[in-house]
Chains A and B, each alone.
Chain A
Amino acid sequence: AQTVTQSQPEMSVQEAETVTLSCTYDTSESNYYLFWYKQPPSRQMILVIRQEAYKQQNATENRFSVNFQKAAKSFSLKISDSQLGDTAMYFCVLGSGGSNYKLTFGKGTLLTVNP
């Protein structure tokens, strides 16, 4: 069974500051993928960033980057230069190609960016 743990139910950050959201996971698969999804108040689920487990290099997408520590099974998300539009629920997600592409979601971290 796969599990994803997000230990921070809520976080807040000032506009233009940097914030890091934590995530740990567990899986017996050797070929897996990790994602961060964002859900703003509109309810739409938006893919923020993805990481393939076999790649050692940490993924980066503009202001969003991850710190992938495979041995520790840790996958944190760093948001730089936080903007008001970053206010959302953030989900850490684990998937593997060998399980009909099923994704396992963490319970989410509600991030509020304050002006």
Chain B
Amino acid sequence: DAGITQSPRHKVTETGTPVTLRCHQTENHRYMYWYRQDPGHGLRLIHYSYGVKDTDKGEVSDGYSVSRSKTEDFLLTLESATSSQTSVYFCAISDDILDGYTFGSGTRLTVV
């Protein structure tokens, strides 16, 4: 969707290195989310933001941190990547629960 972009689209990194994924929106939506998708698990919430500098943990937040210094950007950081963090990461935005989410195209992260 043109209103939300994720970067990079693919990344391979080594165990122990820091990694930052970026989510950028042009919709001025209040809420932003990071999910990870793994086979057999669906999508699981990592962290979310309900405003600038306002963030909270989701169900699988260990090993991840986030920051939101501007409405349009939501960063997900893996401080020290592990093989268990190999996954597809989705960013999503929302401004009205009735509309559900608008998703980014996802980032496939491989930790070797």
Contact = CB atoms under 8 A, between A and B. Distances in A.
B105 A102 contact: no
Given A106-B42, A107-B41, A108-B42, A100 B103 contact: no
Interface string A26-37: 000000010101
Interface in B47-106: 48, 50, 56, 58, 88, 90, 92, 94, 97-101, 103, 105-106
Interface string A42-65: 011101001010000000000000
B112 interface: no
Interface residues of A, number: 23
Interface residues of B, number: 25
Given A33-B98, A43-B88, A101 B42 contact: no
B58 A102 contact: yes
Given A35-B100, A102-B48, A107 B105 contact: no
Contacts of A100: 31, 48, 50, 56
A102 B33 contact: yes
Which of A37, A101, A103: most chain B CB closer than 10 A? A101
Interface of B: 31, 33, 35, 40-45, 48, 50, 56, 58, 88, 90, 92, 94, 97-101, 103, 105-106
Interface of A: 4, 33, 35, 37, 43-45, 47, 50, 52, 91, 93, 95-97, 100-103, 105-108
